[in-house]
Amino acid sequence: MAGKLELREGKGEIVALITCPSAESADELASELVDKKVAACVNIIPGLTSVYRWKGEVCRDSELLLVVKTTEDSRSKVSEVVGDKHPYTEPELIFLPISSGSVTYLDWVVGQVS
């Protein structure tokens, strides 16, 4: 690839971060998000260690991180899928705005999400 990518400011594209306890649950959730067209792409990143307090105790667990590219308009649909399919009682679901990115990639994200 040659040359500089053309960039633009985000226009409602967002990233969701979701942790999962197993490769199976991560793959199932990622597939569901893409199949239902509420996410353009989901990266599954293995090898996380999460340290957190739960019910008064400090816990340490191995997890996988899902990085979900979607849009502001699909935020509630992502939340519904996570609520229906995630094995945790209280799953991590954090949304972050995309301030800017490659024009062609951000346009692709929007085109994949309905």
Residue boundaries of the structural domains of the chain: 11-112
Quick check: 1 pLDDT over 80?
no
Structure pTM? Answer: 0.94
Q: Which CATH number fits domain 11-112: 3.30.70.120, 3.20.20.70, 2.160.20.80, 3.50.50.60?
A: 3.30.70.120
* Residue 49 in this model has a pLDDT that exceeds 80: yes
Average pLDDT over residues 63-71: 98
Q: What does the mean pLDDT of the chain come to?
A: 96
Per-residue pLDDT, averaged over 47-52, amounts to 97
H helices present in the chain, as ranges: 23-35, 75-85, 103-112
Give me Rg for the CA atoms of the chain.
15
Residue 10 corresponds to which tokens in the numbers above? 């985000």
